Each structure stands twice: as structure tokens, then as C-alpha cells.
Structure 1
Amino acid sequence: MGMNDERNEERDATEGAVSRRTVLKGTTAAGVAGGLLPGQASGHPKPRTITVKTLTVPARYRFTVSGEVAKRPSAGTSDEIRGHRTVLGRIDTKGELDEFAFSGEITSFETLKGDVDVVVDGKAVEEKRAKKAKERALPNAITIRAEGEDVSYRFRVTGRVRKGPTADGGDSVDGTTVSGAVGGRGTDDYRYSGSLVFDSTEGPLTVTLELDQ
């Protein structure tokens, strides 16, 4: 074999090695590209849905699931998801609705302001269950009854407070402070959390407390 033949054979062997390395490199890249992305295997399916529709505006609500939760297209930009499990939602337009996909179970639902309808997996949450959930969120109740004359009152709570069915438009809730008036045989009622302190009353009243009901 001549010197030129030896050089040609060596060049062919080298080119073959380069070609094989190139193929192997391409195969490795293809394997990575075709493999699972980080976290893909552990992705949590969200086959269930919850829809929140406002009855009064503005409305604020909060709920937590045992799995994970994600917004669907109808959810508002102001809705916030914390820790993949808890939603802080708000609706400012009457008739508007928010929808979310989730996995697991709904472990808690709390209406923070206003009134909402809740539909889970296409089925409306029973009114009694929704009422019980609200009462658990605000476990204490106070009823203020007049003794004949019109009497103004004012009290504060350390948690949250909202009007009950008998409190009317003349009674107001400003944060944690309630100001109202009751007369004749009328009553005002509220639900609240935490402790309660009366700042003032301008006459005789009968006050009934129901704690942790």
C-alpha cells in the first residue's frame, strides 16, 4: 500500500469517527427533547370545576382545595391564587362569574363580602350547606332587642362582622365597627368572629350572644 493510500484510509477512518460522534450527539439530543420536561411527570390533574357567581356587588370570597387549583378563562384578573391551593376572589360586576379547575376536594369556602352562588362540578351547592359554611366562618351571633324606645348602639369586634337578616339599611358595618339603632319590638342581628365590646348604648337593650355555634 502506498503512502497516499495510507493517508486516504486514515482520513476515511477519521471522518467515519466524526460522523459516528455526530450521530450519537444527535441521538442524545433527540432523547432529551423527547423525554419528560422537569415536573411533567408530577403534574397534578385538575378534572373538577367550581364556578362562583355574584348575587350582590361587590363580592369577595376565599376557598381552599386539597389538591391544586387553576384559573379558567372566565376568572378575573383580580383573582389571586396562593400556594396552588387557595383562591382569593373578587367580583365587582353583577352577574359576573369566576370559574376554576381543581383537583381533590374543597376543604373550605368563605364568603368575605356580599352574596354568591357556588356551583361545583355542574351542581349548585345546597343553600343549607352554604349557610352552614358562612356560619362556621363567622361562628358567633349577637341579637340586639329593643325595650320599646328607639336606642342607638355601637360595638366593635376583634375579627370580622356582617349583618344578619334583621339588621336594616339604617345599621352600618364599617370594618370591625357596627353602628345601629333599634326601637319598638324590633331586633338587629349580626354574625361575627373574635371578641365583642360595646362602645356605647343610649338606652335599655336586651343583648343575646350565641358563641361558637
Structure 2
Amino acid sequence: MNYGKPSTTSLTFVTDSEVSETSSSDSGVLFNPSRRLMRSAKVKRKLIALYADHRCLWNECHKDFFNFGHKANIWGAIAAEMKADSPPDFWKHQMHRLRYKVDLERVKEQKAKSMGEDFESKLFYKDQLNFLNHIFSREKVQLAPTSDVSLEKLPSRPKVTIKEKPKCKAKFCEKMASLDVLRNHHCSNLILSHESFKKMQKITSGVEKAKPKTKHV
């Protein structure tokens, strides 16, 4: 059987400058960014700056953090700003890679410090991602700007200070005297009369004279 040589017309040769990651958009069109674009420090700084400007993409306390439709529109605008006809998912993936590299380097830095070793950062954009330290920070409520129309202020009324009457501090002796009067009053209600006392004494002693019976004739 005769095997022919493979046809060179069916092969596509790609130069080193064109070797890069491949991403597809929603329309199915492949996006092949060049290696130069992938390694460009200017491109990475621009992507991080656009990402930082839209707090709803990374701040979990933002009111639109779970508004996925709004976030998709923002990624579309970022993709158009970075490169025309580029898919938003590609730049979203690149941003996640940058964040992952920074997090990984921070882990290595903490490990080096715990072992007493020096650590030198190799990521030039590490400090530019410091805003991610506030992903749980709540936004400050901004007051609505006041209008130019100034309202006439009513004259403030003078403050009237009400002086409280000083409470009379009773002396200790006076308090004790009043308590004695109150106690004597209660005790006076318990004093028996002379007749009641005699009767009570006879009952308690058990000696009570029997009354004489009258004889009927």
C-alpha cells in the first residue's frame, strides 16, 4: 500500500508571538491573544485598574454584588476597553489568575516569615491589588447633596433652665424620732383595757369563779 506524504496545505503554522491561550466568545469565534499581549505589564495594570473601579465585581457587601446581569454588562464594557472584539470571559479569567497568583505569593511570604527567611516579591502588580483586602468592607452612606435654596431659619428660643428645688436633708435624729412615734402608735392599738386584761388573766390562769345559781321557788 502506498502512503503519501501528509499535505502541507492542511497544516497551520503559528509563530512564537502568536502562541497563547485561546478563548471563545459566545458567538463561537475563537480569540487568540498574542504572547506579547499576555505578558504586557501595561495590559495587566489596565485590567486591574478597570476591575478596581467597579466595586460590585469584588466587594461582597456591594448592593449589586449578586446582580449577575449588571456584572455581565460591566465585564462586556471592560472587554471592549481592553481589546476590540475580545470576549468578556477571557478578561474575567485573566483577572482571576492575577488574584490567584497574588494569594499564592502571600502564602509563601507568610511561610518564609514564620521560618525567619527573607522573601522578595516577584509580582509587580501585587501592591495594586491591595484593595482586595477590603472585600467585606461596607460602603459609607453618602448624604444627598443639599440644594442651593436656603431656608430661613426661625429664631431659636432661649433655653429656659429649670432649677430643681433642693431636697431637705433630714437629720438622722429626726428620722429616728419619727420612727419612734410611728412605732408607739402601732403599739398603742395593742394595749388592753383594765377589764379586758383581768378577763384575759382569768382565762389564761384557768381560775374563773362560777356564777351562783339562783334557786326557783
Please indicate the TM-score interval, normalised by the length of the shorter structure: under 0.3
Q: Which has the higher helix share?
A: 2
The structure with the larger Rg is 2
Give the number of the structure whose residues are more often strand, by fraction: 1
TM-score of the superposed pair, with normalisation by structure 1: 0.23
**Structure number with higher relative contact order (C-alpha < 8 Å, ≥ 6 residues apart):** 1
TM-score (norm 2): 0.22
